[in-house]
A and B are shown apart, each in its own frame.
Chain A
Amino acid sequence: MAWRDDWRRVRAIARKDLTTELRTKAGFNGVAALGVTILILLGLALGPDGAALRNAAVGAVWLATLFAGVLAFNRSFQVELESGALEPLLQYPGPRWTIFAGKLLGNLVFVTAMVAIVVAAGVVLFGVGIPATWPTLVGVIALGVVGLVVLGTFYASMSSRSRAREVLLPMLLFPMLVPVLLGATTASKALLGADLMHEAGAWIRLLAAYDLVFLIATFVAFEHVIES
């Protein structure tokens, strides 16, 4: 019963955030366009040698994802702050983790859609051949996106309400994401190559463990940070 109510709250928040995004569109289009633009700029800076570009493709895609993604997270709390809706949101009964879970779900959909565009652009622009192991590659990307979204959503719940939020969020988020960046890029590179060392499996386990650890930690900590 209570569980059903909580799940209803989670869905309501995610649906509300995504409806708002769908109707304004400017937000998503802007973030996705920025991701692709970063890829193009990296291509210009690192190219035009085809082999060098293929080599840099994975890193370029993840950097573009991180820099564009960071804009999405502050946005998701900005919606609440601009209209003064955070107070009513906090005043509803029900556990606070439902707010985090709802925001997380909304951001997950948002960032996944953006990553799909960035990855497609990366494949085209950097001339990456799709390997036979592509389902595993999708899994690696998904694990990376979960890590990014969990910590991004968590830190944005604070940075969006602080001074200098544009600076603070990347300062807090990017160093924390080093294991995600290393894991996702190394595993992706291994899967795009022959993975002779069988490295990918170890990195996938690390990414999964990272996601799990911080999913739990942020859910526990969120209740303490959302209060004003």
Chain B
Amino acid sequence: MLKNYFKVAIRNLWKSKGFSLLNILGLAIGLATCMLILIYVRNDLSFDRYNKNFARIYRVDADIIFGGSHLVLAAGPDPLGPTLKRDYPGVEQYVRFHDRGGLMVKRGDENISENRVIYADSTLFEVFSLPMIEGNPSTALVAPHTVVITESMARKYFNSVHALGKTMIFNGSDLYRVTGVIRDIPDQSHFHFDFFLPMSQDDQSRRNFWLGGNFNTYILLRPGTDPATVASHFEEMVNRYAGPQVQQAIHSSLAELKAKGNNFGYSLMPLGRIHLYSNKVGEFEPNGSIEFVYIFSVIALFILLIACVNFMNLSTARSSLRSREVGIRKVLGSLRKALIFQFLTESILVAAASLVLAVGIAFLMMPYFNQLSRRHLRLGLFTDPWTIPGLLLLMVLVGGVAGSYPAFYLSGFRPIQVLKGKLAAGFRRSNLRNTLVVFQFFISIVLIIGTIVIDSQMDYIRHKKLGFNRDHVLIINNCYPLNDNARAFKAEVLQMSGVQDATMTGFLPTGGNRNDNSFFKSSSLDQNGAIQMQTWTIDEDYIPTLGIGISAGRNFSRQFHTDSTGVILNQAAVKLLGWSDPVNKKLYTLKQFGSQELIAYHVVGVIRDFNFNSLRKEVTPMGLFLGNNNGNLAIRINTNDISGLIGRVEHQWKIMAPGQPFSYEFMDDDFNKIYQAEERTGKIFVSFAIFAILIACLGLFGLTVYAAQLRIKEISIRKTLGASVSSILSLLSMDFLKLILIAFLVASPVAWWAMNKWLQGFAYRIGLSWWIFLSAGILAIMIALLTVSVQVIRVAATNPVNALRSE
């Protein structure tokens, strides 16, 4: 019996090749897109799971409110880890990471800049599962001047993974012995370091300074330990250890600070949540976001639903062609059950064909998708034991869901009606089908609106006036090696033609250094007048080079010797301080934490706010201080011969910093990097939205084909009565346009709600204006109309006699 069904199914599919192609292709595109999204989401959800102790590892994060700033850190003070292990038996082990910047690694005659460098406790390998190819994990990071490297670094510097015991030269002259080679850290890790240096060499790690926050601290809990119990000890720990140090530093007890709304607390972040839920200060890498995992999962589901709906609609619409078969089979003695089974077999067959095609499509799309998402995803058809059963399940599910309605619908035909020639009563009157079309377009319109909003917001960010001019700014990276030559180098560069201005500092709005400190309005260090703000060390050319506006006072000048104790505030700082006339007012800060000595700064000027964070955040208070910082040289250029200029700058660099790597960037590129993740996810969203719309259109196209087929007699009669092609077009389109209009009315508020929610994540955002919705509606109608008219015009243009003769 099954054989008979298969035969009929295959012949049926073959007979109506166009329909089958439409059905299989639509379903295949849907399945392929869905597969890609699921792989992506699964990848996102499996971060850090390569660790054997995955479920027992937690990061200890600091949450500090002080001086009007709320700091949420992915790190804690240096004594935190050791103290937790010593005082609380539930903590089995800890490991701290301290990021102290990159290294110059010598290979032959050249120095290569490596940035994936971290100081780590020797307990690293007890907490994280980083398999060692060579070396002893328990001793590898104990002694100073040792280094553990990844296998790709071993290959890079020694042309072999066997690097144990070999010597590396860092920063020109420091000798390090390789004590371990580990496998490369998996893609799905929230950190990727290539060089692990021993914490024993980091003096800061032994300061016992509770008021800092530079150590990313991970703890491994003993099996069965409740993290909440560990966390419940944090307050007591802060009081015992940090309290006295606070008292000493600012002559105020923790309790007093807290009474004034400040806070000093810690929390546990499970390892499994870091990648998707943590976006704190001091993360090693920009993390993903659970928001997008949800959004993508929903899109995947939507796309699959649209594809299934297509299948259902096309199958039932085509029912007229199958109804005779149903009638005959019933007369020949088939029970309804058998017919349902037959149609389900057919739809699962179609699903199977689609699945095979979908795997092919997904395979072809994978490289593009990886490019788009910056991942290294693979289909994992045979490597992942869940893939094939998962796909088969998906096939049966899709085949079953998509086939169930046609199966029940078709098998319910009464044989005599069918055989008498009364075809499936209402193609137009099927409410369910109409509802499904509305549903498809509802999703499509929501996605179109989402696409427009995301695109506009991205565009807004790209072109927003940030308060500084990021165009035509060339940045020479890492100028520290210039040492005493830094000023001379800047002077030389300023002499070059095509250079308008230049400033030497590590503090740039598009990234680089960040530093903040507390300041007080009075020398009594009264907490009420405290402000936590960014403190940036710049030179006198900074403001003109970056084109930052001055709203009061003046820029720094070397002519005023007192400017070394001057400060230029931004408007956000002035606002928080509550000053109406800030110029010449004084701000106090401790010369050093723990000492009693104060430094007084006088306000020289006020600059207009400029954005130095992601536009997701408001501009925070900032003070600019005159000093020497050789982090970068930012050059404002006014020439078209950029490569020539770069060549001359590099030439000068080689004279003044021989043997040191020269690298440069453009400020607008740096700026774009901040939004790369955002842009990427935006682009992925847009691509998927396009796929969803495409699939919906395939379905609509199929429906029109059959609508026209069923109404061909009506069309022919109308034509013999003198109807024009356009009037027939509008007659047939009107049915669908009505549905799209309903979909639009339902979709608009839903999309408004969703996109409004998304935009809340940006401090600077576009408004949701009516034109976005209108254009999405018009676009949907245009797409639908285009899809419909291709077919309708063909039908409308045929000779009516052909249709009428067959009656």
The answer on A and B forming one complex is no
Q: Which residues of A contact B (CB under 8 A)?
A: none
- List B residues at the A interface (Cβ < 8 Å): none
